[in-house]
Amino acid sequence: MADAKMMAQMSGKEGFIAALDQSGGSTPGALRLYGIADTDYSGDEAMFRLMHEMRVRIMTAPAFSGDKVIGAILFEKTMDGEAKGKPVPSYLWEDRGVVPFLKVDKGLAGEENGVQVMKPMPDLDELLARAVKKGIFGTKMRSVIANADKAGIAAVVKQQFEVGRQILGHGLVPIIEPEVSIKSPTKEEAEAILRDEIARQLEAVPAGEQVMLKLTIPTVADFYEPLIAHKAVARVVALSGGYSRADACEKLSRNHGMIASFSRALTEDLRLQTSDAEFDASLGRTIDEIYTASVVKA
């Protein structure tokens, strides 16, 4: 059973979720944006150490607190790391009031029928058991939809909910993330199929259980209102999907009931070379902007 205080925060508190879960292939790009060139390190161990240092700098900044950042999604290595001498999940919840989530997928399979489903996760039960012991509240897993192919989208959603039920079995709350590419030539049509498929799968969620949904900001404002209102949905959050923060926030502000769960849009102005005071001020402005888009609607 999910922690009641964390569930109350995630289902009802105003704010947004920080996505600090860059992994594998996305890490070098995140480091380059931060001001660390590929030539500044050698090997995965050094790469992930630098990424962890960046994340700790974010998590320990004054503005990064449960007042506006109600949750944070972590990469596995971040979950296993420390901040201020404490395990990261404990530090986030006990010291910052931020609910910890864990990214559990192992990346994407090749595109088929206009979509990419998740790669197999044979060790998922072991990872989930470890996450529970570390105080993790929920999980996140991503698939990608490139085109409005009904069979492909149905396969993505079916897989997401199958794994979601496995996660619920460990007392964790899954964030279902079937991302529709913002570059899709059939984005609006794909979203219509996706909404129907999600609604169908939500009817099979066990009574008394809830999932979260992480969705691309829809082309039609408030398109996901029926999902937001569903009894099996604790929260619907929006991914930035490659939009700039300004664009993502403007689009999000037109979708009532959706809050942000941004990654690149959260960190796009942060630089290694800035002083701590400048870094904290920049992050504070970003948090205020994303919070406003999540809470104040057009």
Rounded to the nearest 10°, the torsion over CA 47, 49, 52, 54 is -70
Q: Are 166 and 119 in contact (CB under 8 A)?
A: no
- As a whole number, mean pLDDT of residues 16-35 equals 89
- Mean pLDDT within 15-34: 90
Residues in the chain: 298
Pick from 16, 101, 98, 20: nearest CA to 65 = 98
For the segment 230-241, what is each residue's pLDDT rounded down to a tens digit? Answer: 999 999 999 999
Cα 294–chain centre separation:
14
> pTM of the full predicted structure?
0.96
Handedness of CA 247, 236, 139, 68 (dihedral sign): positive
**What's the Cα-to-Cα distance from 172 to each of 45, 85, 100, 293, rounded to whole Å?**
29, 25, 11, 28
Across 21-35, 67-81, 102-116, least confident range: 21-35
pLDDT at 23 over 90: no
Listed in sequence order, the residues at least 6 apart from 76 whose beta carbon sits closer than 8 Å to its beta carbon are 23, 102, 103, 104, 127
Mean pLDDT of the residues in the chain: 96
Catalytic sites, residue numbers = 177, 214
CA separation, residue 27 to residues 37, 71, 83, 103, 139 (Å): 11, 21, 19, 14, 19
**Six-digit token string for 124:** 């998922």
pLDDT tens per residue, range 146-186: 999 999 999 999 999 999 999 999 999 999 999 999 999 99
Token representation of residue 9: 């925060």
Asked if residue 260 lies in contact with residue 248, where contact means CB atoms within 8 angstroms, the answer is yes
pLDDT at 32 over 80: yes
Is the pLDDT at 200 greater than 80? The verdict is yes
Q: Average of pLDDT values for 20-49?
A: 90
Cβ contact 81:53 at 8 Å: no
Q: What percent of the chain has pLDDT over 90?
A: 96
Dmax (CA) of the chain: 52
Rounded average pLDDT over 177-199 = 98
> Any alpha helices (H) in the chain, and if so which ranges?
4-12, 27-34, 44-59, 76-79, 88-90, 96, 124-133, 150-168, 187-202, 225-228, 245-252, 264-267, 276-295
Q: Which among 71, 94, 95 is positioned nearest to 16, based on CA atoms?
A: 71
Is the model's pLDDT at 129 over the cut of 80?
yes
